[in-house]
Each structure stands twice: as C-alpha cells, then as structure tokens.
A = this chain, B = another copy of it.
Amino acid sequence: MAAQRGQRNGVGDTPPAPTAAEITTPIPRVAEVPAARDRARAIPEAAVARLAVYLRVLSGMQEQGAGTVSSEELAVAAGVNSAKLRKDLSYIGSYGTRGVGYEVVVLIEEIERILGLTRKHSVAVVGIGNLGHALANYGGFPGRGFPVTALFDVDPDLVGVPVGGIPVDHIDDIPRVCAEREVSIGVIATPPPAAQAVCDRLVEAGVQCILNFAPVVLQVPDHVEVRKVDLAVELQVLSFHVARRADDAAQGDGVAGMGPDLQVNGMVVS
C-alpha cells in the first residue's frame, strides 16, 4: 500500500548535507537527540511500516522470554530479507552487538520511541455502522496506546448510545469533542458520500492524521496525513492475480506441462 496524499511537493530540495557530524563521530555513543531527529526524517515510508511489524514480532519474542535476536531470526519471523531488516534498523540507529545480535528489550524501546508510541494517541471513529461498530468494540485498539475516546454518527437514534463503553456524539460536535479529548487520529468509517465532509470537519478540528476506510479519494491540506484502507481495491488486486494466473495456465500450457515451474531459490519457510 501505498497511501495517497494531497500532493506532496518535491522533497528533492532537502538540506545538502547532514552536517557531516554523522561521519566523524568521535565517541561511539554521541548523536543523542538531534541526530536521531535528523534520521527520523530520512526513514522511508515502507521501512516505517515494516518497523511496526518488527515491533509486534519482538513483543511476541519478549513474552516468550527471548533476550536477544539475530537479524536472521527476526527477519524470517517478520517475513522479510535479513539484509532489508538490518537496513531498516540502521535507519533508527545502531543498537545491535556484532557477533551477538540485538537485545530484544532495547530494540522494542527504540522502535517504540521512533514510532512515537511512548505517547498515547486518542482515536476518534466517525461512522458507527457495521465497520465503525467493530472498530469501536476493539476497545483500546491494537495493542493499547491508541485509546478510542470519541465516536460520531449522524443518526439521531445512535447519538447518546454507548458503543464499546463510549457514548456516540453527533458529527456536528466533532470540533468541540475532538478538542476536549485531544484526538490526534481520526478514523473515517462512513458511507462514501459523507466521507469528504467528515474529513473536512476533522481537519477543522485540528486532527492531523486520518485513517480512511471509505472508498473515496480525500482532498486534504498537505499538512494532514491520510492513510487509506480500501477493501474494494484489495479484492480487485487479488482478482487481478487470479486472472493473471488463469491466463498463464491457459497460455504456457504446451511447454512444460501444467505443474508449477521449478523453484530455484531456497524457500525460507520452515
């Protein structure tokens, strides 16, 4: 996935050099806060998403009492190449020990810090239909750190009714309620026609991050970050692969039989 956003202007004009303090580094553990900040800006989006995956895998390992992991172990558990994993981790700093691996606790701490999980992020869900209901009932959202603190809908029958312990407010109250409860992430689970209007109100209320489940391309000012989860697109992409597969089978038939073509690379699957 790839998130669409409202026209990000050319980021090509970044500062020419990273102060060169990066290379010299007289003492091993310098570059405390400021360098970390500089690095944070350079982490590719895809790597950020993977860091979140690593974090979950690491949490699982921690619960099972693992003290350290090698990049190889962590990589197979996360379903990625070990080189990629190491590169991803290098974006946030050098917290591994050569010849040994990474300390699970340290890695968890650092990833959480980079992802901003040390702070709680209030979540508001707008649109309490099937999906909104499900989201609200997650209660505390994935793995805590993202408490759902506000619910909104237009339906007067729903307003006031508590869902998952939180009373539903009317969408007209978005600005007030979001401000009061310091909502930092808005989740849009409304029907398509309502999505843009809801989005506008969230933005107006100062919400800077939006997770959009409505199959609509949202227009937002470019200081707002939008991520989209689009069920229809996911299914259609899968459909494409079904079709491609069917075509391949129909076409490359007379050549090598109908069996799957041989696998050269060693599968890492256990």
Show the binding face of A for B, using Cβ within 8 Å: 1-4, 6-7, 9-10, 34, 37, 40-41, 43, 45-46, 48-49, 51-53, 55-57, 77-80, 114-117, 119, 121, 123, 130-131, 133-134, 137-138, 141-143, 145-146, 184-185, 208-211, 215, 217-219, 221-223, 225, 227, 229-248, 251, 260, 263-265, 267-270
Contact = CB atoms under 8 A, between A and B. Distances in A.
Copies in the complex: 2
A208 B146 CA distance: 34
B269 A6 contact: yes
A215 B56 contact: yes
A116 B242 contact: yes
Contacts of A232: 52, 56, 141-143
**Most B Cβ at <10 Å: residue of A4, A45, A239, A244:** A239
Contacts of A141: 231-232, 235
A215 B142 CA distance: 9
